Structure 1
Amino acid sequence: MDQLIPFQTIFFPTDGRPPSVVQLMTSPTQYGPHGGPRMPHPEAHMDFIAEATGLGKPWKYFIVDSLDGMSKKFAHPYIVYYPTVSRDGMPFPINKSIKDIQGSDYNEKYAWRGNIIIGKFRDHDRPFESLMDASIADFAILKNFIRNRARGSQS
């Protein structure tokens, strides 16, 4: 039976609360006995996000498969979901949780905005089909990634 399946992800709230583990629900993109890719629903954790329309999703993602200076890719890369279209057309608020992690390296020009959700997956070629549970143990790696992205863009 096809159904919503949750995966644990790390949630970085915009309001400055500490990051926490939340469930990211996924739904099947095709129905049948063999399953297939799943659609994640990070919008459930994104405040002020526009409703999805026929024009596309109001969020985007990018893959983190290594940290600066690494010669090998992660065995289990991360996927970062971020909001792109707000309900009222205004910019999303600066993410205070991430700003705090970046500390003195924070640069408003490259500020992360809105609630950020970071998941984990197994297969580099099929991130939506191979999602797996992340845990707070992944936080140290993600904190390193976020800190090093203080001077660059999100995507």
Structure 2
Amino acid sequence: MERIVNFNAILFPSDGRPPTIVQLMTSPMTLPGHHAQSYTLNPSRMPHPEVHMDYIAENLGPRAWKYQLVEALDCMNRKFACPYIIFYPVVSRDGMPFPINRTIRDIQGRRFREDTAWRGNVIVAKYCENPFSSLMDASMADFPILKNYLLTHGCPQ
């Protein structure tokens, strides 16, 4: 039986509400050609950020969202021991663009640019080593680092 595991992640809602902690559900990822024995050491897990994304296309799973790894802030000479992974929606239910994320727009202030705006609900998780085998709980203590990153970085195109 497949085991669902949840991790705390930070949700940046698109409607302007303050960021909150949500449960990011993950499920075991099956890789073709791998035997069951290979799952005992460090199994890969498929995150399901789409659960927290409004207007996202249904039944597409990971094809409806993308992710961006945040391993360091600008001007840092060392990477984070526990980096972040930012999940954002890319395929909407009706084919229309997602609404601009007002929470992140407010963080960016005068630096906001519509052409690189984060859209829809954005979920940020934390990991060690590999984002798909070593997710860990994020907390609001991670918010200042994420705020700093979002202040200077738009959504990847």
TM > 0.5 between the two? yes
Pick the aligned partner of 1:46 from 53, 56, 60.
53
Is 2:151 the partner of 1:154? no
Moved more, 105-114 or 28-37: 28-37
- Give secondary structure in 2 for the equivalent of 1:93: coil
TM-score by length of 1: 0.91
Map Cα deviations across residues 6-61 of structure 1 (whole Å, 9 max, x no partner): 0000100000000011010000013946261100000000000002349x620011
- Give secondary structure in 1 for the equivalent of 2:63: coil
Structure 1 residues 23 and 153, CA gap change in structure 2 (3 angstroms): closer
Map Cα deviations across residues 101-146 of structure 1 (whole Å, 9 max, x no partner): 00111111211100000000010xx211000000000000000000
- Give secondary structure in 2 for the equivalent of 1:57: helix
Distance 1:72 1:46 in 2: 32
Distance 1:127 1:47 in 2: 23
Pick the aligned partner of 1:60 from 45, 66, 73.
66
Distance 1:32 1:5 in 2: 18
Q: Report what 1:3 is aligned to.
A: 3
Distance 2:156 2:60 in 1: 24
Q: Report what 2:14 is aligned to.
A: 14
Is 2:132 the partner of 1:132? no
1:119 alignment partner AA: A
Q: Report how many aligned residue pairs link the two structures.
A: 150
Once the two structures are TM-superposed, the CA of residue 68 in structure 1 deviates from its matched residue by 0.5
2:28 alignment partner AA: P
Q: Report what 2:83 is aligned to.
A: 77
Distance 2:23 2:16 in 1: 19
Structure 1 residues 127 and 69, CA gap change in structure 2 (3 angstroms): same
- Aligned residues: percent identity? 57
- Give secondary structure in 2 for the equivalent of 1:61: strand
Distance 2:75 2:142 in 1: 18
Structure 1 residues 32 and 19, CA gap change in structure 2 (3 angstroms): same
Distance 1:114 1:53 in 2: 17
Distance 1:128 1:53 in 2: 18
